[in-house]
């Protein structure tokens, strides 16, 4: 059996399941490369000890990682990019965010490509799996790989070593092949969704298709590199636009006093209509930026500029949903005779996706900011999100106080909740309701919003005036929530995901408000 060494750069939601799947294939040895960044460096030891770093549901992944890392010993993770030197194939799976002006931030991609290029051997296959703006593989990654390696991409070229490095003179193969995974379904979607592979030439495509055959249980469709890049970004732009449509319909239904979920099922009764589900906002690493990557690609590499107004409008609509949720909270409280300022609001769901731990671009963040701006006291709850990831949102909190209701109450009853800029970064002294001094590590940060985070649903709801559901975690679907809500001070639930029926809430003596639903006195 031949020994194939695969290097996967970037141990994240995409790179980890992919690396683990290949490591389970007989004859494969896989090395994951993960930089020791403050946020993600810990995943190296975690994976090497045979554990999955994901806290949410990931069927089959923990067992797979344990098998390949500890039993078969075919999977190892390092921060040393030099392992690319004897790689037969290299996959690049690093993040590709956009900045505030929607321009791609390719530092990670460039670093990964440069590192691979400095070490890779003649004949290696490099595949970009990160989502990129159309044109990036050939206009950004290929020149870096060629410059660093001294080799040419594509079918063999006559050998002539680089005058700069003295190395190279050979060739390597280059392709783009995107992932269709999402947290919670990583292995299933990776192996059971058809895959698209687009090489920069026929031989690159052929080699990449042959590689993926080892893990795919569905068809692999070969195409060219640019078409594959466009297809990936179009696929996600399509979803973003469709969610925006559903969200706009939710606002219309809410205003007219009809239930958008009922309307949706009536519309979708026609087999050729597929209205999406409206919700409290769109998050994750992909949907909020992939339409912008598409936009960037056409403007950077297209023959003519294209005004993609629809994509931008969809982004605007989806970005506005958390603010609409804040408005619903305010209206629901007002109807109960309570101002938002000073009310205790429990925000349920910090991960952007149900039963997952991923907080990137979570709609909970703008919602919490809007609530805090209007003086609400906010406690955040999520059963899956790690404290470090919550802290990284910059909401300024203290340690996770899992089951200690008293401590949580004391922290929430702090008189002054914002760190005033007038303190000039000096750590303020804070006191709980009994006058005791409280230690809040994040108070030194001027942006701290003093939002308490807990993984205990009862603690989050105790004494709350409103619970607002941002994420459809299973914990919010049934009796657990209804029971915990009995300890609320004002029993209002604002449902941003269609999690609960109004009737069920009424039976539990809770006032129900829902996005896109006929609620309140309106
Ligand atoms: N998350 C998804 O569901 C999903 C689905 C399809 C496609 N994608 C795309 O796949 C890519 C990766 O997404 P992700 O969610 O896995 O990201 P992620 O942030 O979970 O993982 C990326 C990892 O790469 C590491 N990294 C960055 N630069 C590195 C370098 N130079 N060397 C070594 N490690 C480096 C980071 O520290 C991080 O651990 C993105 O382009 C994304 O758009 C993601």
Q: What pLDDT, in 10s, does the model give residues 382-391?
A: 999 999 999 9
**C-beta 16 within 6 A of ligand 1:** no
Residues 222 and 338 in one domain: no
pLDDT band at residue 149 under the 50/70/90 scheme: very high
Residue 408 forms part of a structural domain: yes
- Ligand 1 atom with the smallest distance to the CA of 41 is 37
- State yes or no: pLDDT of 440 exceeds 70: no
70 within domain boundaries: yes
Q: From the CA of 321, how far away is ligand 1's center (Å)?
A: 26
* Protein residue with its CA nearest to atom 32 in ligand 1: 35
Q: Based on the residue annotation, tell me whether 253 is a catalytic residue of this protein.
A: no
Ligand 1 atom nearest the C-alpha of 132 is 41
Counting every residue, how long is the chain? 522
Among candidate residues 152, 232, 344, 472, the one labeled active-site is: 232
In a domain, 161, yes or no: yes
The residue among 194, 227, 260 that closes a domain is 227
pLDDT of residue 414: 41
**Is 26 a domain residue?**
yes
CB-ligand 1 contact for 136 (6 Å cutoff): no
In a domain, 240, yes or no: no
Q: Is the CB of 93 under 6 A from ligand 1?
A: yes
Query: For residue 15, how far is its CA from the centre of ligand 1 (angstroms)?
Result: 7
- Dihedral of alpha carbons 261, 267, 270, 275, sign: negative
Q: CB of 133 within 8 A of CB of 105?
A: no
Does residue 435 surpass a pLDDT of 50?
Answer: no
Listed residue (411, 415, 438, 412) closest to 427, CA to CA: 438
Tokens of 434: 């009994």
What is the H or E stretch that residue 7 is in? strand 4-9
Active site residue 232: yes
Full-model pTM? 0.88
pLDDT value of residue 168: 54
Query: Among 12, 80, 127, which is best to mutate for testing ligand 1, by the most ligand atoms less than 8 A from CB?
Result: 12
Q: Cβ–Cβ contacts within 10 Å for residue 255, how many?
A: 10
14 band by pLDDT with thresholds 50, 70 and 90 = very high
Taking the centre of ligand 1 as the mean of its atom positions, its distance from the CA of residue 522, in whole angstroms, is: 45
Q: Is there a domain that residue 266 lies in?
A: no
pLDDT, tens only, 103-117: 999 999 999 999 999
- In angstroms, the CA 392 to CA 39 distance is 9
Residue nearest to atom 7 of ligand 1 (CA): 179
pLDDT digits over 309-336, tens only?
A: 999 999 999 999 999 999 999 999 999 9
Range of the domain at 191: 4-227
Mention every residue, 6+ apart, whose C-beta is less than 8 A from residue 330.
Answer: 340, 374
Say if 247 falls within a structural domain: no
Residue 426 has pLDDT above 80, yes or no: no
Q: Report the atom number in ligand 1 closest to the C-alpha of 37.
A: 37
For residue 182, pLDDT over 70 is answered with yes
For atom 30 of ligand 1, which residue has the closest CA?
112
Q: Is the pLDDT higher at 409 or at 446? A: 409
Residue 426 or 284, more confident: 284
The whole-angstrom separation of Cα 369 and Cα 395 is 8
The predicted structure's pLDDT at residue 266:
98
Is a pLDDT exceeding 60 seen at residue 411? Answer: no
Decide if pLDDT at 420 tops 90.
no
Q: What are phi and psi of 316, to 5 degrees?
A: -60, -45
Contact in structure between 225 and 177 (CB atoms under 8 Å): no
Does the pLDDT value for residue 418 go beyond 60?
Answer: no
**Structural domain contains residue 270:** no
510 C-beta closer than 6 A to ligand 1: no
Kindly state whether residues 22 and 145 are assigned to the same domain.
yes
pLDDT above 50 (res 415):
no
**Are 216 and 350 members of one domain?**
no
Number of domains in the chain: 2
Q: Are residues 396 and 510 in the same domain?
A: yes
- With a cut of 80, say whether residue 160 has pLDDT above it: no
Q: Which atom of ligand 1 is nearest to the CA of 286?
A: 43
Distance, CA 130 to ligand 1 centroid (Å)? 7
**Per-residue pLDDT at 421 exceeds 50:** no
Q: How far apart are CA 418 and CA 401, in angstroms?
A: 20
At 53-71, the pLDDT tens digits run 999 889 999 999 999 999 9
Q: From the CB of 172, is ligand 1 less than 6 Å away?
A: no
Question: Does the beta carbon of 236 sit less than 6 angstroms from any atom of ligand 1?
Answer: no
Which of residues 227, 243, 268 is at a domain's end?
A: 227
Q: Quick check: 405 pLDDT over 60?
A: no
| Active-site pick, 18, 286, 499, 505 | 286
Whole-angstrom distance, CA of residue 139 vs CA of residue 29: 31
Q: Determine whether the shortest distance from the Cβ of 35 to ligand 1 is under 6 A.
A: yes
**197 and 222 Cβ atoms separated by less than 8 Å:** yes
Please name the residue whose Cα sits nearest to atom 36 of ligand 1: 10
Per-chain mean pLDDT for the chain: 89
Strands 195-199 and 171-176: antiparallel
For residue 522, the model assigns a pLDDT of 55
In sequence order, what are the residues at sequence separation of 6 or more whose Cβ sits closer than 8 angstroms to the Cβ of residue 407?
401
Q: Give residue-wise pLDDT tens across range 204-235.
A: 999 999 999 999 999 999 999 999 999 999 99
Spacing, Cα 9 to ligand 1 middle (Å): 9
Q: Residue 512's closest CA among 460, 259, 520?
A: 520
37 and 173, same domain (yes or no): yes
Quote the pLDDT of residue 307: 83
With 90 as the cut, is the pLDDT of residue 407 above it? no
Q: Residues 173-196: what's their mean pLDDT?
A: 95
Question: Binning pLDDT at 50, 70 and 90, where does residue 427 land?
Answer: very low
CATH of the domain at 504: 3.40.50.720
Question: How far is it, in rounded angstroms, from Cα 356 to Cα 454?
Answer: 16
Pair (351, 223) in one structural domain:
no
Q: If you take atom 2 of ligand 1, which residue's CA is the nearest one?
A: 182
Domain end, chosen from 227, 249, 275, is at 227
More confident: 522 or 261: 261
Q: Give yes or no for residue 15 CB within 6 A of ligand 1.
A: yes
Element (H, E) at 39: none
> What is the pLDDT, as a whole number, of residue 161?
60
Q: Which atom of ligand 1 is nearest to the CA of 14?
A: 16
328 lines ligand 1 (CB under 6 A): no
**What pLDDT, on a 0 to 100 scale, did the predictor assign at position 305?**
85
Q: Which atom of ligand 1 is nearest to the CA of 289?
A: 43
Q: CA quadruple 59, 62, 66, 69: dihedral positive or negative?
A: positive
Instruction: Please say if the pLDDT value at position 156 is more than 90.
Output: no
**pLDDT confidence of residue 416:** 33
């Amino acid at each position: 059996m031949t020994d194939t060494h695969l290097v996967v750069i970037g141990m994240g939601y995409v790179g980890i399941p992919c690396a683990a799947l290949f490591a389970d294939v007989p004859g494969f040895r896989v090395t994951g490369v993960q930089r020791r960044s403050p946020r993600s460096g810990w995943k190296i030891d975690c994976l090497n000890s045979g554990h999955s770093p994901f806290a949410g549901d990931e069927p089959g992944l923990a067992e797979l990682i344990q098998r390949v890392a500890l039993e078969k010993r075919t999977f190892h993770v390092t921060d040393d990019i030099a392992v690319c030197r004897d790689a037969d194939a290299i996959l690049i799976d690093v993040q590709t965010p956009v900045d505030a002006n929607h321009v791609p931030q390719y530092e990670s991609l460039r670093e990964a490509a440069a590192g691979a290029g400095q070490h890779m051997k003649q004949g290696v296959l490099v595949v970009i799996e990160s989502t990129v703006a159309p044109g990036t593989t050939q206009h950004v990654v290929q020149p870096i790989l060629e410059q660093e390696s001294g080799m040419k991409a594509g079918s063999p070229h006559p050998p002539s070593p680089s005058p700069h490095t003295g190395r190279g003179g050979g060739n390597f193969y280059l392709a783009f092949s995107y992932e269709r995974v999402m947290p919670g379904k990583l292995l299933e979607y990776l192996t059971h969704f058809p895959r698209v592979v687009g090489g920069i030439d026929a031989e690159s495509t052929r080699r990449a298709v042959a590689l993926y055959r080892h893990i795919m249980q569905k068809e692999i469709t070969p195409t060219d590199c640019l078409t594959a890049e466009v297809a990936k970004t179009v696929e996600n732009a399509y979803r973003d636009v469709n969610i925006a449509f559903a969200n706009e319909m939710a606002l219309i239904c809410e205003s007219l006093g009809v239930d958008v979920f009922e309307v949706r099922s009536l519309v979708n009764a026609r087999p050729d209509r597929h209205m999406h589900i409206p919700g409290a906002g769109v998050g994750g690493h992909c949907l909020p930026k992939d339409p912008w990557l598409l936009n960037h690609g056409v403007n950077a590499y297209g023959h003519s500029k294209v005004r993609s107004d629809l994509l931008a409008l969809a982004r605007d609509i989806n970005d506005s949903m958390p603010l609409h949720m804040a408005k619903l909270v305010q209206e629901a409280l007002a109807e109960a005779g309570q101002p938002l300022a000073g009310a205790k609001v429990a925000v349920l769901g910090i991960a952007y996706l149900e039963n997952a731990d991923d907080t990137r671009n979570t709609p909970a963040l703008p919602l919490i900011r809007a609530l805090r701006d209007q003086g609400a006291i906010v406690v955040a709850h999520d059963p899956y999100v790690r404290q470090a990831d919550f802290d990284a949102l910059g909401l300024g909190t203290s340690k996770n106080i899992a089951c200690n209701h008293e401590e949580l109450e004391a922290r929430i009853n702090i008189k002054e909740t914002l760190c005033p800029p007038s303190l000039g970064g000096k750590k303020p002294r804070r006191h709980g309701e009994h006058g005791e001094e409280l230690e809040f590590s994040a108070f030194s940060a001027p942006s701290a919003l003093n939002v308490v985070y807990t993984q205990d649903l009862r603690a989050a709801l105790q004494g709350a005036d409103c619970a607002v559901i941002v994420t459809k975690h299973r914990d919010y679907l049934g009796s657990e929530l209804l029971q915990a809500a009995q300890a609320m001070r004002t029993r209002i639930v604002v449902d941003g995901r269609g999690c609960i029926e109004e009737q069920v809430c009424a039976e539990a003596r809770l006032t129900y408000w829902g996005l896109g639903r006929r609620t309140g006195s309106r």
